[in-house]
């Protein structure tokens, strides 16, 4: 948690790790007012250049860490054109590009890893970090990289008491086998299509919904006080969460402004369960307006 920008996780903790600097993530829905869309990429890339100028020169930066789809930040997919531009910056300065797939990995986004969308566009991360769904609830995480990177560490520096836990590794192997056997990446896309269709329908009915976005079955819905001003509506979002809970549906909020509800259902959910959950969710929105 030492890298997180979510203050709820860091309040009262410290000192935190030094040398971690943050640039603006491309949140196109909330571009600066009046900025034309064609200027957005330059704006967000300038934020990285500002970090080099104000925080750490590029030749002192080891890596740029990117979530292919932000989790706590509000389920915002990283635009491919931005990812390509970041890759170019990394190549220019000899900086590693790390894909943080702790939340987006293992079929959540319609691919085994969300960064596979990058690969389809001709871009690859140098290192991939993952955890959570990797072992079906048994604690496990993984760092994946090419041989050149993995062999570059000094002998004896990669290891620890819990490395290579046999139970967790066995669970992960079975999880991967089942995910591939049951085509859960494809199922994720099917779920996401149903959710996005329903959310877009709701967006036309309820002016408190400002944006819907995501990849596969990892979908965010953002609540606002007004679709024109885009003023965040965190109180309404909290009310929707509570209304859902009162009807037996557990949902979770996210986002910098605490006004996003994230869809992150089990990939083995049935169509009937999905429809029932969406019906409850829409009823909760109606009750909370």
As to burial, measured by CB atoms within 10 angstroms (0-12 exposed, 13-18 middle, 19+ buried), residue 219 is buried
- The pLDDT, as a whole number, for residue 156 is 82
Q: Are 218 and 70 in contact (CB under 8 A)?
A: no
- Residue 77: φ, ψ to 5°: -70, 140
Q: Six-digit token pair at 160? A: 């620890």
Taking the CA atoms of 278, 280, 281 and 287 in sequence, report the sign of the dihedral they define: positive
> For residues 59 and 95, what is the distance between their CA atoms, to the nearest angstrom?
8
pLDDT of residue 7: 65
Residue 261's DSSP bridge partners are: 221, 253
Instruction: Please give the model's pTM, rounded to 2 decimal places.
Output: 0.92
Low-confidence ranges of the chain (pLDDT < 70): 1-3, 5, 7-10, 13-14, 16
User: What pLDDT, on the 0 to 100 scale, is given for residue 5?
Assistant: 66
Written as six digits, the tokens of 222 are: 């953002």
């Amino acid at each position: 948690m030492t890298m997180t920008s979510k203050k709820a996780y860091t309040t009262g903790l410290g000192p935190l790790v030094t040398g971690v600097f943050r640039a603006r993530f491309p949140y196109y829905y909330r571009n600066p007012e009046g900025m034309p869309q064609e200027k957005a990429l330059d704006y967000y890339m300038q934020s990285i250049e500002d970090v080099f100028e104000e925080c750490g020169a590029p030749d002192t930066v080891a890596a740029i860490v990117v979530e292919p789809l932000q989790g706590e930040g509000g389920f915002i997919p990283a635009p491919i054109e931005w990812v390509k531009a970041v890759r170019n910056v990394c190549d220019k300065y000899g900086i590693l590009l790390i894909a943080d797939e702790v939340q987006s990995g293992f079929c959540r986004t319609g691919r085994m890893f969300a960064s596979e969308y990058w690969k389809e566009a001709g871009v690859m991360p140098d290192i991939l970090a993952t955890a959570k769904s990797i072992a079906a609830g048994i604690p496990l995480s993984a760092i994946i990289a090419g041989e050149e990177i993995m062999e570059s560490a000094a002998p004896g520096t990669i290891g620890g008491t819990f490395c290579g836990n046999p139970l967790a590794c066995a669970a992960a192997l079975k999880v991967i086998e089942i995910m591939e056997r049951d085509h859960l990446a494809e199922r994720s896309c099917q779920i996401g299509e149903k959710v996005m269709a329903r959310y877009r329908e709701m967006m036309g009915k309820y002016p408190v919904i400002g944006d819907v976005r995501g990849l596969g079955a990892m979908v965010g819905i953002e609540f606002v006080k007004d679709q024109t001003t885009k003023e965040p509506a965190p109180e309404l979002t909290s009310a929707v969460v509570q209304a859902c809970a009162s009807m037996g549906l557990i949902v979770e909020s996210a986002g910098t402004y605490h006004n996003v509800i994230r869809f992150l259902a089990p990939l083995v959910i049935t169509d009937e369960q999905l429809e029932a959950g969406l019906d409850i969710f829409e009823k909760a929105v109606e009750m909370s307006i």
